[in-house]
Amino acid sequence: MSFKDNLFIASQYVVPQHLLSRAVGALAETEIEWVKNPLINLFIKKFGVNMSEAQRQTASEFSCFNDFFTRELIDGARPIEGDASVLCSPADGAVSQRGEIVDGRIFQAKGQDYCLTELLGGDAKRAAPFMGGEFATIYLSPKDYHRVHMPMAGKLRDMIYVPGDLFSVNQVTAENVPRLFARNERVVCIFDTDKGPMAMVLVGAMIVAAVETVWAGHIAPPRRELKVSEYGAPVDVSLEKGAEMGRFKLGSTVILCHPKGVVDWKDAFEAGSPVRMGEAIADLS
């Protein structure tokens, strides 16, 4: 690892992660034109954001940076693979890792792994259906579309807010910070589907201003402690395949977990490969 990478990793252990993220979040919400317009334009140029697929294409059309970052796309920009026998990607990004959950552990990168039960909030009963199953980790880079959609139809059973750190989630950090995804702040969503339970984990990261879901809005408990919200009658949240389920204000990672024997990953869906929301990533059994 280079000196620059070492310095980057070390700095994350000493900076006030939550304070920094709140400060960046406040900046990302400002509606002052001479602040937000240059910031948006600089971001577009630096990261090569493709604005031709966005419904609004100039900085002045967005109320703030976060409005730009969670921009909606034009109709047809992300066709959804509609066949019920396939699983779709929930987000734009790149495949960090995918594979089998072995002995309750999920592979992170280069000798790093973490505990499935810890990832899902520490409840062994909640994690049990996914033991021996399959996982996929998708990293959303700054230039990507940052709304998260349903990879298959499902009915929400539980939403678990898990407090934690806010390390960066890029490849360098994934390779060098132990238990990265199980120690960062995250929102765990458990859905019931025709193929059994499905876990979708929205992982927070350094300077991520917020995680939102379509049913609960901005996830910001008054205290940073684990919170489990159960759903069902009379609060029924059922989402069709391809429907928006959440969004990141500044980028992060989505982790999918499925029981054993449910998914068979497509050959092209492998570590390091780019992926776009809506495209088929696995066959469903």
The secondary structure element, H or E, covering residue 147 is strand 147-149
Q: Locate tokens 């609060």: which residue?
A: 235
Contact 54, 71 (CB under 8 A): yes
Residue with tokens 């702040």: 185
Spot the catalytic one: 89, 113, 252, 258: 252
Among residues 96, 113, 149, 158, the one annotated as catalytic is: 149
Known catalytic residue: 252?
A: yes
Question: Tokens at residue 2, please?
Answer: 């280079």
Instruction: Please identify which of the residues 92, 113, 144, 158 carries the catalytic annotation.
Output: 92
Measure the CA–CA gap between 191 and 153, rounded to whole angstroms: 9
Three-class SS of residue 164?
coil
First and final C-alpha spacing in the chain: 41
> Is the bond preceding 234 in cis, omega lying within 30 degrees of 0?
yes
Token pair of 46, please? 């630096």
Task: Check if 149 is active-site.
Answer: yes
Q: Is 92 a catalytic residue?
A: yes
The owner of tokens 């089998």 is 100
* Residues recognised as catalytic: 92, 149, 252
